[in-house]
Amino acid sequence: MFKAFLLNIIKREMVSNVLAYMFSMTQFDYLTELGDRNTIQEAYDKAKKWALDAINANLFLGKHELKIVNEKFYLVEFQKDIQIEAPVFNIVNMEYIHSLRTRCTEDLSNGNYDSVITKSRTLMEEVFLYVLENEEVDVKLNGDLTQYYGKIKEKYGLNQSRDIDNRINSLFSGLERIVRAIAELRNKTSDSHGAGQKRYAIREHEARLVMNSSITICEYILSIYKNNK
């Protein structure tokens, strides 16, 4: 029955959406009985890893496996690298950037702070790639947020320089540190780096900080892009 279910969602190209729903923390609400936030997070990580291993056990004979990259699910041939397609953009503007707060409202109310981090990081990736694509800058689509930002720095001269006021250099340095921190925070709070690594449970005020930082950075990058058109 489970194999038939997998084949059906594969045929209908619904793998990522269905599994994102199945693996979302809201589907593990019974874990709230554990009480402590960190204990709940660790139990959720273990349950998620067990479920992923169980699915891959079913896929093994067909020489396929399920992988998670940036909270998206990909069904690929066993031990093959994932080829991430360039995203299709609709409208990336200030209104879309500001809508992140609305899209995160329910997550913040429900305590799903990991989802806030994911959406914030995704927004940055969308804006960065939107700008790079429209500027016709070659970039490797590997989900590396710091690489995308590095390309934007090169394009718009956002590197620190002796010819620039020290205060502006400090701002450039701060932006880069924020981008790197959000990228690393998403990696270290996910379970994609192995079960032996200590996981940090995000708190509400930290989730809000990441959300607002992402909005500020995206506003800045989009403004530069528009001013250079």
Do 173 and 113 fall within a single domain?
yes
- What are the pLDDT digits (tens) for 55-84? 878 777 777 777 766 566 666 777 666 555
Residue 87 forms part of a structural domain: no
Residue 183 forms part of a structural domain: yes
- 59: containing domain: 1-77
Do 126 and 162 fall within a single domain?
yes
Q: Of 77, 111, 139, which closes a domain?
A: 77
* d(C-alpha 53, C-alpha 47), whole Å: 10
- pLDDT score of 216: 95
Which of 35-39, 201-205, 221-225 is the least confident region?
35-39
Q: Residue for token digits 């067909």?
A: 62
Residue 8 forms part of a structural domain: yes
* d(C-alpha 94, C-alpha 223), whole Å: 9
pLDDT average, residue stretch 10-21: 62
Q: Is 136 left (phi over 0), alpha (psi -120 to 50) or beta?
A: left
- What are the pLDDT digits (tens) for 142-152? 888 999 999 99
Q: How many domains does the chain have?
A: 2
pTM of the model: 0.61
- What are the pLDDT digits (tens) for 169-209? 888 888 899 999 998 886 555 434 444 445 567 889 999 99
Q: Residue for token digits 């950037």?
A: 97
Q: Output DSSP code: residue 90.
A: S
Q: What one-letter code names the amino acid at 116?
A: V
Do 131 and 213 fall within a single domain?
yes
C-alpha angle with apex 147: 151 to 216, nearest 5 degrees?
75
